[in-house]
Chain A
Amino acid sequence: MSDSIINLSYNIPANDFTFAGEASSNVKKMLSQLGINPMVIKRAAIAMYEAEINAVIHGGGGIADIQISPEKIFICIKDEGPGIPDVEVAMQEGYSTAPEYIREMGFGAGMGLPNIKRYADELQIDTEVGKGTTVKITININ
C-alpha cells in the first residue's frame, strides 16, 4: 500500500432501503482488496454501515467520504437532516426516536451509535439542530 492515500466518496440516498448499505459494502470490498486484517475490516464495515443507515433513516440522506491510509481508515458521514438535540442521550444503548415503521424494517434498537463507539478507535459527532449531523469514525489499521 506504500504511502498512498485512497479517497472514496458516495452519495447516500434518503429512504431507500434496498440501496442503503451499498456505500459500506463498496468500502468493505476495497478494504479486502487491500489485504487489510479481516477483524479491522469488520469493525470498519459495521461502524460505517450503522452511520450510513442513520443518515438514511434519521438524516434524510447524505454523503460518505472515506480516506484509507496505511495507518488508518477515516470515515466521514455527513447529512443535512434535523440534527441530534442531545448527543449524550442519543449515545445510550436502547435510546431511539425511530418510528414504528422503521422498527418494522429491523432498525430502531437504539444500538447504532453505541455500536459505532464500540467498534471505532475514535468517534466524533458534530451536530446542530436544524442543520445536520457529521459522524467521523477512525479505525486504526495496526
Chain B
Amino acid sequence: MKIRDIARILDAEIVVDAGNLDLDVNCACGSDLMSDVMAYVKENVVLLTGLVNPQVVRTAEMMDIKVVVFVRGKNLNQTITDLAKDKGITILTTKHPMFIACGKLYSAGLTGRGVWD
C-alpha cells in the first residue's frame, strides 16, 4: 500500500509531503508510547499515534519510518512539521480516532505485522 493510498483511506490531510507518496508501506504500528514503537522491528512501517510532540518525529527518524499519521484531528505545531521536513518524513493527519484509523487500514489490506520479541 502506497503512502498516498493511506492518505486516501484515512481521509487524511497531507501536512508534510516529503516527496515519497509512492513509497510502499507493508505494516503499521499504532502506539502512543515511543519506546514501545522502538521495540517493533520491521521495515516499511507507517506509524499511527495520538501523541503530538517532536519526539514522535525523532522516533520515526531513528527507526527509518518515512510516514507518520497523527490521529483524532490533532493540530500540529510548526516545530513538529519543520523537523519532519528536515528529516524527510511525510506527515498525515486524520480526524479518525486510533482504533478506526487502524481498522480502516487493516480492512484495506495493510495486515503486515512486525515483531515484538
A48–B37 Cα distance when bound, in Å, is: 15
A53: shortest Cβ distance to chain B, in Å?
8
A28–B61 Cα distance when bound, in Å, is: 9
Q: How large is the interface on B (under 10, 10 to 19, 20 to 34, 35 or more residues)?
A: 20 to 34
Q: Check if B35 sits within 8 Å of A115, measured CB to CB.
A: yes
Q: Check if A106 sits within 8 Å of B32, measured CB to CB.
A: yes
Is there a chain B Cβ closer than 8 Å to A73's Cβ? no
Q: Check if B35 sits within 8 Å of A112, measured CB to CB.
A: yes
Is there a chain B Cβ closer than 8 Å to A25's Cβ? yes
| Shortest Cβ distance from A108 into B: residue | B33
Q: Check if B62 sits within 8 Å of A105, measured CB to CB.
A: no
Is there a chain B Cβ closer than 8 Å to A133's Cβ? no
Within 8 A of A (CB), among B66-117: 79, 87, 117
Is there a chain A Cβ closer than 8 Å to B55's Cβ? yes
Dominant SS at the B interface? helix
Residues in chain A near residue B53, CB distance under 8 A: 17, 105-106
Within 8 A of B (CB), among A95-123: 103, 105-112, 114-115, 118
Is there a chain B Cβ closer than 8 Å to A134's Cβ? no
- Residue among B54, B61, B62, B117 with most chain A CB within 10 A: B62
Find A45's partner among B33, B34, B39, B62 (CB 8 Å cutoff). Answer: B62
Residues in chain A near residue B38, CB distance under 8 A: 46, 49-50, 111, 115
Find B33's partner among A24, A25, A107 (CB 8 Å cutoff). Answer: A107
What 3 A-B pairs have minimum CB-CB distances, sorted nearest first?
A111-B35, A21-B58, A109-B33
Residue ranges of A at the interface with B (Cβ–Cβ < 8 Å):
17-18, 20-21, 24-25, 28, 38, 42, 45-46, 49-50, 53, 103, 105-112, 114-115, 118
